Amino acid sequence: MTAVRSESAELSQSPASYRFPPGFVWGAATAAYQIEGAAAEDGRTPSIWDTFSHTPGRVHNGDTGDIAADHYHRFRDDVALMADLNLGAYRFSVSWSRVQPTGRGPAVQRGLDFYRQLVDELLEKGITPVATLYHWDLPQDLEDVGGWTVRDTPERFAEYAEIMAGAIGDRVPYWTTLNEPWCSAYLGYGSGVHAPGRTEPESALKAVHHLNLAHGRGIAALRALLPSTAQTSVTLNLHQVRPLTDSPADLDAARRIDAVGNRVWLGPMLDGAYPEDLLADTGHLVDWNKLVRDGDLAEISRPIDLLGINYYTPTLVSDGTAHREGPAVPRNDGHGASDHSPWPGSEHVAFHLPPGETTAMRWAVDASGLYDLLMRIHREHPGLPMMVTENGAAYDDYISPEGAINDPERISYLRGHLSAVHRALGDGADVRGYFLWSLLDNFEWAYGYSKRFGAVYVDFGTQRRIPKQSAHWYAAVARDNVLPDVPEEDGKS
């Protein structure tokens, strides 16, 4: 009856065989607003997340990113810590309003200097810098004139991409245009649990198209200035969608969520077209014929060198039409509490918490979903290299009386997911690297400082950094390029 399972085959390797390919990239990732702090220093102006976090009731405990992990002032120490942890690469994002405060016009050199110095420090320590241009922090000035709902914002993004490519493009070999545009569009403009906090299904779909367009124009801007050896990409939080049962209604629910969650990006970016079923599902909310103009899809589908995939947990859905006249449709989708759905055109789909172990986010621990996503891209887009650009877990970490942070649950989570990556490699998927989310405990968006994803514990009162047990474990994996002590069941459904 149930369809909650992996597409994958049984593991056949012995634990001793879990060696990764030569040159496999081991890294960790962060985002600007989550760690930098210095929110009003050196010319930086508010982003939508500054505004959102300072709005009462929007963020847990009234937390803001004003100071965060104070990385802006402590980046040299943080890079030294990365080196101690054997990281081969560091994926950071740029604060748009730090380098171009109003989202238009000339750059602020003090802002650019921070990223120049960060890149230089990384290179000096032998760590490859991986730059993400947009991790959700749109300059507030651009939101004030429509944000991602208007076509001018992709133009502004392309100019911003030019600025960054000109500033650090000679030293940064990997570039990502957007991180998780699903969150920017649907959580920001649909359910309102992320900045800018709007709850307008039509606006969410307009934001989808303009984010897609910004990606394509950003790729063009980068390619015009970067060395030919540079690698360009986009990072998507693809959903491994599974139907609760094999009933036709539940299968159609999974199709709908796959369309609005995954193929709305993969279609235009990789195939040059929006899926027809998506257009049918959402046509009552937005006029796609007016939204998508001649030439847009050609711009959006400019070739990329890599696809970044972020994965944390699978998505379990069923048809929820029975709830239309009764209780609210269950929406345990892990994306925050709201009376408004982040799934436009699929508001009747019910979301369920998969069975089994969960993290502090109440996200199910299931590494088979990562395997299945990697193999899906391998099948549908053979030859397209991938990187796992985010994967990790939040747990209720604390300092023991001995001064250590013991997090065996996180080690188990990472070991299972790295086993799934290794399995996908063995089955032909071209996966080039893995970035742990996150290097540091940080401002976890609407959850404030209540959730800890870091491999390194941050005491936010003192800004002291303490590597957790998982950080030392991951450092050994990165050093040896081998996944140790893999239980036979890791990575299986």
Task: Give the CA angle between residues 29, 32, 36 to the nearest 5°.
Answer: 110
Integer Cα distance of 358 and 157 in angstroms: 37
Instruction: Give the CA-trace dihedral at 105, 292, 272, 425, to 10 degrees.
Output: 70
**Alpha-carbon span 392 to 455, nearest angstrom:** 9
Amino acid at 220: A
In the residue annotation, 124 being an active-site residue is answered as: no
Burial 408-439 (b: 16+ CB within 10 A, else e): ebbbbbbbbbbbbbbbbbeeebbbbbbbbbbb
d(CA 179, CA 187): 13
How far is the C-alpha of 101 from the C-alpha of 47, rounded, in Å? 9
Stretch (H or E) spanning 310:
strand 306-310
Q: Which two tokens stand for residue 347?
A: 């508001």
CA distances from 77 to 110, 117, 474 (A): 20, 13, 19
**CB of 37 within 8 A of CB of 69?**
yes
Q: Per the residue annotation, which of 143, 162, 390, 444 is the catalytic one? A: 390
Please tell me which residue in 121, 180, 299, 444 is annotated as part of the active site: 180
Is residue 390 part of the annotated active site? The answer reads: yes
Tokens of 396: 């209720």
CA distance 186 to 204: 5
- Nearest residue to 85 (alpha-carbon basis) of 367, 436, 415, 394: 436
**What is the C-alpha separation between 422 and 129, in angstroms, rounded?**
24
Burial of 136 (0-12, 13-18, 19+ CB in 10 A): buried
Q: Which residue has the tokens 């209540």?
A: 450
Is residue 269 within 8 A of residue 212, CB to CB? The reply is yes
Q: What is the rounded distance in angstroms from the CA atom of residue 315 to the CA atom of residue 307?
A: 21
State the catalytic residues. Answer: 180, 390
